Amino acid sequence: MINRILIRIKVLQIVYSYYQKGSENLNSAEKELERSLQKSYDLYHCLLLLVTTLTDAEQRKIDALKYKYLPTKQELNPNTRLMDNRFAEQLRTNDTLERFINQYGVIWNENDTVFVRNLLNEILQSDIYNEYIQSPDSYEADHKFWRKVFKDIILGDETLFDILEEKNIYWNSDLEIIGTFVLKTINLFDTETLATQELLPMFKNDEDHQFAVRLLHKTILEYDENEALINRQIQNWDLERIALIDLFIMQIALSEIKNFPSIPVNVTLNEYIDLAKYYSTPKSGHFINGVLDSIVNELKTNGILFKD
């Protein structure tokens, strides 16, 4: 579930922090990486639980209106489609999510009341909801509703990012990637899904987990060696104009190029160029591509690198 794109982002964050703090403890860096990856997986559960949290908020809202002084006819006979949503009930009874709540407690609590209420109102006022309550009452409609809400409303909510960042500092760069896996998980459910429905694993396989740990180790252990390779290529550049993050990106990219023979060079280059475009300056991608391409050619010429 945690893919290599997110792993590279996490390694970049840990490496940047490692050298900014002047740390020399590799074990501490590894523990920090493991903690960061675990929190990404926690976010996956947290976002899934937002479905039941919003459903519960609708229940409380309807109950409050029903028992207020002089309720209207509509308030006494509300539309309960959202409260009765079958997909939301599947999530509520899912064994894995129940274990997560038992271990970590309630994620969405009274501190999030305003956010949850505003998000619920946004959903209730949407065309998606209007189409839903006018559609035939079926599991398919229930399932489709939450899939569209999650994709078009929740993941695009302007305040969600800030709320998540307040909950955990590790979540500030995870939402877009983890959100795609939540959508994939929603698609796993169907009318036959029971409480034992498996969610996505933390890693696709152990190889991805080992990739994360080894990439971090090699980047730190080969820092001086990679720095020398980079410095030879940028000696004619104005060093003050080179973003520090670009240097760290190239450090990690070189460690991946040299230590993971099964990953083609062009795949690594493309991944880190994209990373630079997102985390650095608009011109960083072009700069990093040029420097790394020259280093790759140097390594091949010297008989150090043999893969394409």
Please check whether residue 236 is in contact with residue 61, taking contact to mean a CB–CB distance below 8 angstroms. Answer: no
Phi/psi zone of residue 106: left (φ > 0), alpha (ψ -120 to 50 degrees), beta? beta
- Of 48-52, 171-175, 245-249, minimum mean pLDDT range: 171-175
What integer pLDDT is reported at residue 157 of this predicted model? 93
What integer pLDDT is reported at residue 17 of this predicted model? 92
Query: Which pTM value belongs to this model?
Result: 0.92
pLDDT at 242 over 90: no
Please check whether residue 220 is in contact with residue 24, taking contact to mean a CB–CB distance below 8 angstroms. Answer: no
pLDDT at 68 over 80: no
pLDDT at 241 over 60: yes
User: Which is nearest to 85 in space by CA: 131, 129, 127, 139?
Assistant: 139
Q: What is the CATH number of domain 222-301?
A: 1.10.940.10
What integer pLDDT is reported at residue 14 of this predicted model? 96
CA distance 222 to 215: 10
pLDDT at 155 over 60: yes
Domain ranges of the chain: 4-188, 222-301
What integer pLDDT is reported at residue 63 of this predicted model? 82
User: Which is nearest to 245 in space by CA: 277, 279, 206, 219?
Assistant: 279
- Of 8-22, 78-92, 147-161, 236-250, minimum mean pLDDT range: 236-250
CA distance 77 to 96: 35
What integer pLDDT is reported at residue 73 of this predicted model? 63
Concatenating the DSSP letter of every residue in 125-161 gives: TSHHHHHHHHS-SSHHHHHHHHHHHIIIIITT-TTHH
Model confidence at 238, pLDDT cuts 50, 70, 90, reads low
Structure tokens at 287: 């700069």
